[in-house]
Amino acid sequence: MTKKILILPGDGVGPEIVAQAEKVLLFLIEQGKLSVKLEHGLIGGCAIDETGSPLPDETLKKARHSAAILMGSVGGPKWDNVDRAIRPERGLLAIRSELALFANLRPAYLFPQLVEASTLKKDVVSGLDIMIVRELTGGIYFGMPRGIRELDDGQREGFNTLVYSENEIKRIARVAFETANKRRGRLCSVDKANVLEATELWREIVNDMAKEYEAVELQHMYIDNASMQLVKEPKQFDVILTTNMFGDILSDLASMLTGSIGMLPSASLAENGTGMYEPVHGSAPDIAGKNIANPLATILSLSMLLRFSLGEEKLAKKLEQAIDLVLTDGFRTKDIYSKGMKSIGTNEIGDEVIKALTSLLV
């Protein structure tokens, strides 16, 4: 049976950036390089508008029957005042949780052509290649109890729970050790074990697992120090393993080392092989619909989809090479523009990637 790819453009810049990745997918299908069927669905604010829910049953059903999901971004000021339980972001968290997409891989790779686009000094970031392995379906994002309650004295109190079971820690740690094994063999586990029991256990379990991976050099770092080290000397890192919330924060930080958050793709994987692919950045409502958003994070996410969900390593590499060529040719969206480059729009970057891909596929 032909594999299905579910496309969920979402809100804000989501539809325009996902359209570029979809263009690339259609091109690969047309060229006979890929045999997949594309489906579309609603998630986030646009899904609330249509159905009242940020993750309609129909979307979830389609997702369960897909080999992979390509997602844009969710949220925007239009939905700031909707009930907390049905906020657009809840749709994203729900699909991650429902499909058990616990392993979030966020590579922070600096294309050498973009070294001028980073706000950090050239020698600090050039050659940067980090993989953040973020736990995605547990921790404080999902821990119970949670909520806002009224106290006896009439004031309100907000509360969340940071909780990690041994099995949750083991399965994400395994992904990180395996990833480090395939890369430069260095793993840094980031926690706050000096204060938080949940991450004290995290550290203990990661240490236990290290015995199975003798070739991997393991190190632990507290989140505050890791944030500092990422800015001070980012090239000391190979693979970073961390919790849901710390990973959320560190991946935005790491994106700035690569020039722009518009360059960071991600893969969220389940144990059964299902994968959802999305850019690390948000819906950027302030620039939505203006054809200026950078679609490369989403196109790079497509390349991760080809690699991890379809086993198309060669095509994934070609697509990465095509992006490399586009950057070498000097094409830039605003976020990665530097003097002397050619500033073009979202749609045009998509066209250039296809042109470059055409030259690579012959």
According to CB under 6 A, which one of 38, 51, 89, 124 is a site residue for ligand IPM?
Answer: 89
Q: Which does 9 bind (CB under 5 to 8 A by kind): ligand IPM, Mg ion, none?
A: none
Taking the CA atoms of 91, 254, 104 and 337 in sequence, report the sign of the dihedral they define: positive
Active site residue 109: no
Minimum CB distance to Mg ion, residue 73 (Å)? 10
Interface with Mg ion, residue 135, by CB under 5 A:
no
* Helix residue ranges per DSSP H, 133-286: 166-182, 197-210, 223-232, 244-257
Is 222 a known active-site residue? Answer: no
When binding is defined by CB under 6 A, the residue of 135, 248, 312, 335 that contacts ligand IPM is: 248
Q: Is 238 a catalytic site residue? A: no
Between strands 331-332 and 342-343, the pairing is: parallel
Contacting residues for 359 by C-beta, under 8 A, at least 6 apart: 325
- Catalytic: 224? yes
Cis omega (within 30 of 0) for bond into 145: yes
Residue of 55, 63, 71, 92 that binds ligand IPM (CB under 6 A): 92
Q: C-beta of 262: minimal distance to ligand IPM in Å? A: 14
Burial class (CB in 10 A: 0-12, 13-18, 19+), 36: buried
- The smaller minimum CB distance to ligand IPM, of residues 97 and 291, is found at 97
Binding residues among 249-308 for ligand IPM as defined by CB under 6 A = 280, 282
Which one, 75 or 259, has the nearer CB to Mg ion?
75
Beta carbon nearer to ligand IPM, 113 or 301: 301
Q: At what angle do helices 57-64 and 88-98 cross, to 10 degrees?
A: 30
Residues 287, 261: contact at Cβ < 8 Å?
no
Residue 278 or 312: which CB sits closer to ligand IPM? 278
Catalytic residue among 191, 192, 277, 335: 192
Decide: 43 and 92 in contact? Cβ < 8 Å: yes
- Determine which one of 141, 164, 213, 277 is catalytic: 141
- Other Cβ atoms closer than 10 A to 168: 20
Catalytic residue among 62, 248, 277, 318: 248
Minimum distance from CB of 71 to ligand IPM (Å)? 10
Q: Which residues contact 356 (CB under 8 A, 6 or more apart)?
A: 321, 322, 323, 325, 326, 329
Residue 216 and residue 177 in contact, taking contact as beta carbons nearer than 8 Å: yes
- Exactly one of 168, 238, 248, 278 binds Mg ion (CB under 5 A); that residue is 248
Catalytic positions: 141, 192, 224, 248, 252
| Residues near ligand IPM (CB under 6 A) | 89, 92-93, 248, 280, 282
